[in-house]
Amino acid sequence: MTFLSFWNPDFGVRLLTDCKSICIVLSLLHNNNKEESLFRYICTLYTYSFYLLPKRTYFQDIAGVLGSNVFTLFTNFGLVILLGRMLGPEMYGLYTALLVVPLLVVSFFQMGIRPTTVFLIGSGKEDENKVVSAMLTVLIFTASTGVIFSAVAYFFVGTEGYTPLLIIMALLTIPMRLTSIYTGGVYLGKEEIPITNMMNWLTGLLTLVLAIIMVYFLKMGLFGAVASMMLANTIVAVVAISMLVRRFKTRISLGNPLIGRMLKTGVVYALSFLTIQLNYRLDVILLKVLSEPREVGIYALGVSMAELLWQIPLAISIVVMSRSANASDKKALNESTARLLRISLILGVFISAGIVILSPWLVPLVFGEKFTPSVLVMQTIMPGILMIIIFRILSGQLAGTGHPEAAIKAFAPAMVLNVVLNYLWIPEYGANGAVMATNLSYSLASVVYLFIFSRISGMPVKEIFRFGKEDWSFIKRFIDRKKKPESRNER
């Protein structure tokens, strides 16, 4: 991917118009040993090119993240189609259930290091090299602890249908995924969002390509599906670390004073992420325990397709978190966040309507008649998916300004409700019972979070939802900017 950046015209212009930066890059290349690989040169050039980036607008950053997310959406969609077709409902259910434990463990052992890193670097109060060094030291500890914790969790959850090798590969995704997440926080803190985008879409692309080779061509089944996930995350983790260590002076040391500060702040973020992810994934675990793998597969496919709706608010929340850590005008930040929420909700309603209308035709066509029951899952979970957009957008600002506890207050009661309703409804209604429980828990969490955001930001709820034509003024500004270069060229 990094090699493709040389074909970006903006990259070339920035290098040609900043001699000082060219000298920096050339001196770095000159001082390297001749045995250094071309890959490491490319990483250096790619990383240092971002020193020359001009200040990007909200719209540009959101468009960049959204473009990356849309590309990832298509690769994930392709992966779901491939695995659904090749594995079938039962094996796809086993694949989904196998990866739930690593996903939950990664959610906790992120330890909030990513948003904490964003906050520390974005505030400009700490030495960047010390922040990065502390982050890498914590990464070694959390990655190893996460693997051990997951191995124990598999023992309690049950390993029926899985070989030891499958479990080992699932465990190996944990340190690789944590590496990408942690390093992404460094670049978000510096508002160098394109690098974080790269780590996002490259993972999805590699997973799809490897799955095509291993599952479709080599017919390796469940083993190939898990192996492609593990290998893709490993490659991206190596790229991320290579770029990081070439830019910053890193030193692994337990004596770094920022480690304690990161962990202290990170525990709250960790509990926040874990509580959120438990709400997202507990239903899969409970379905596996209270139902059968086929029901897990039906539910997982329907939910994964519905969750594609989250790509727009996810892109916005990433940018909001990055900007919040660097913002000085809190009133303007509140207004921007509220405007982005209103836009996201309107877009979400139209997209969800399209999914509800088209899913009865698309699901059997794309995934086969075996997954037809997923249509009802996809349609009925839409209210909950729409409600969680509120949280997705607003959480970006509160996380970027150091309020991770807000998510715990909103999602802890929702999680309890989710578990109780799943136990009551799954035995009788199967996957559809899990959907009903999800809708209610998502709605409760989002409403509670909305009022918490209103209290912390000082912005009334009615002001947050004050829809108006000015919400869409960014479209006119974008068109005007596009017209200006054309008018200059004509003159």
Nearest to 305 by CA among 357, 236, 374, 250: 374
Q: Containing domain of residue 205, as a range?
A: 55-479
Let me know whether 43 and 82 are in one domain. no
Let me know whether 140 and 7 are in one domain. no
Tell me, yes or no, whether 485 lies in a domain: no
Average pLDDT over the chain, rounded to whole? 82
Contacts of 16 (CB under 8 A, 6+ apart): 22
Write down the pLDDT at residue 63.
Answer: 64
Let me know whether 196 and 160 are in one domain. yes
Tokens of 250: 């890193």
The predicted-structure confidence for 65-121, as pLDDT tens digits, reads as follows 667 777 887 898 899 899 999 999 999 999 999 998 998 899 888 887 887 888 788
Let me know whether 19 and 100 are in one domain. no
Whether residue 347 is predicted with pLDDT greater than 50 in this model: the reply is yes
Number of domains observed in the structure of the chain: 2
Phi and psi for 467 in degrees, rounded to 5? -70, 145
Q: Which residue has the higher pLDDT, 310 or 323?
A: 310
Tell me, yes or no, whether 486 lies in a domain: no
Q: CA 327, 330, 333: angle at the middle one, nearest 5?
A: 75
Let me know whether 220 and 307 are in one domain. yes
Tell me, yes or no, whether 491 lies in a domain: no
Which pTM was predicted? 0.69
Tokens of 22: 């060219």
Tell me, yes or no, whether 129 lies in a domain: yes
Let me know whether 65 and 42 are in one domain. no
The predicted-structure confidence for 196-235, as pLDDT tens digits, reads as follows 888 889 999 999 999 999 999 999 999 999 999 999 999 9
Let me know whether 20 and 158 are in one domain. no
Let me know whether 167 and 239 are in one domain. yes
Let me know whether 274 and 355 are in one domain. yes
Whether residue 253 is predicted with pLDDT greater than 70 in this model: the reply is yes
Let me know whether 33 and 105 are in one domain. no
